[in-house]
Structure 1
């Protein structure tokens, strides 16, 4: 039986070189798009430079839950396609702003799922590597009540663990056991184990 050679995993230098080449290819693809776009975990913002003589009534912009079309009436669309994920229509909008360079079409899309990164604005556009996104620091005050409570509990439990103290759940169990012991002094809890 012949020995089968396993392919060796790339060295850190090779991986770094590959990552750099992929990032450069991604930047080139994105720079060729007729618009620029950015995103946070909760929304996507898109901008496109348009001629200074264009007015809002000259634009054709349609935002649907799963699609986006934007451009100047009678011309090829700047963007036209299916969104990779649904958006909240009531929170999505577009504006036309005058800048030093001319005019800029701004489109704001509010993501329905605020827990995922988009690889592209429309599925026909080149993708970006979402695993390389570094999220912006969010503040606890930005979170809704339930999420905030869950995050605060996780942070408290992490601090307790680091100090060798019981987590909030462990503390709750110990308090319940103490309460039960008070109510039933006749029972022997000397061999009781928490687990």
Structure 2
């Protein structure tokens, strides 16, 4: 019977080398695109150099919920394809900006789902490894009410736990017990255990 060993996992040094090679390949693929792009958890921004003599009316830009087509009228589009996830077209926009080296088309896309990293702007473009994205620190004020409440509760519970104190759920139970005790002074709760 043949010995079928699984290949060993790469050592940390090998993993570092493989990651570096993958990052280099990714950077090469991205540098060949006719545009540059960046993203946050909530939006995508891309820029493309445009000849300095062009005006906004010389450009053809169409942004929909699921696709983007942008370029110079009468020429092959700079970008044309379907998004990996939907956007909010009413909150997205494009501008023609003057830079030191000429002009650039700047496109801002507002993501519909604010919790997804995009592997590419359009599905026909080379992908990036989204697992390697280091998110920017977000502020609590950036979060919607429900998410913010959840995060604040988690932070409070974590601080309480670190100090050896009860978390918010335990505090609620203890408060309910105190109220019940106040309403029923005839009952003996001296041996009651919480948990």
TM category, shorter? over 0.9
1:69-125 CA deviation, whole Å, 9 max, x = no partner? 000010000000000000011110000011111110000000000001000000000
| Alignment of 1:22 onto 2:41 | no
2:130 is aligned to 130
Runs of 4+ in 1 over 4 A off after TM superposition: none
Instruction: Indicate the SS of the match to 2:186.
Output: coil
3-state SS, counterpart of residue 90 of structure 2: helix
Cα distance in 2, alignment partners of residues 2 and 105 from structure 1: 60
Quote the Cα distance in structure 2 between the aligned partners of 1:32 and 1:11. 32
Residue number in structure 1 paired with 2:64: 64
Shift of 1:137: 0.8
Contiguous gaps of at least 5 residues in structure 2: none
- The yes-or-no answer on 1:98 pairing with 2:98 is yes
- Offset of residue 2 of structure 1: 4.4
How far the C-alpha of 1:12 sits from its partner, in A, is: 0.5
Deviates more, 1:174-183 or 1:23-32: 174-183
Deviation of 1:6 (Å): 2.7
Q: CA RMSD in A?
A: 1.1
1:150 to partner: Cα distance = 1.5
**TM-score, L = length of structure 2:** 0.97
Q: For the residues of structure 2 that align with 1:129 and 1:19, how far apart are their CA atoms?
A: 10
Aligned counterparts of 1:110 and 1:47: Cα–Cα separation in 2: 15
* Deviation of the 1:55 alpha carbon: 0.8
Task: Tell whether 2:107 aligns with 1:107.
Answer: yes
Does 1:192 pair with 2:188? no
Any residues of structure 2 matched to 1:35-74 within 5 Å, and which? 35-74=35-74
Q: How far apart, in 2, do the equivalents of 1:10 and 1:118 lie?
A: 27
Return 5+ residue gaps in structure 1 as ranges: none
TM-score (norm 1): 0.97
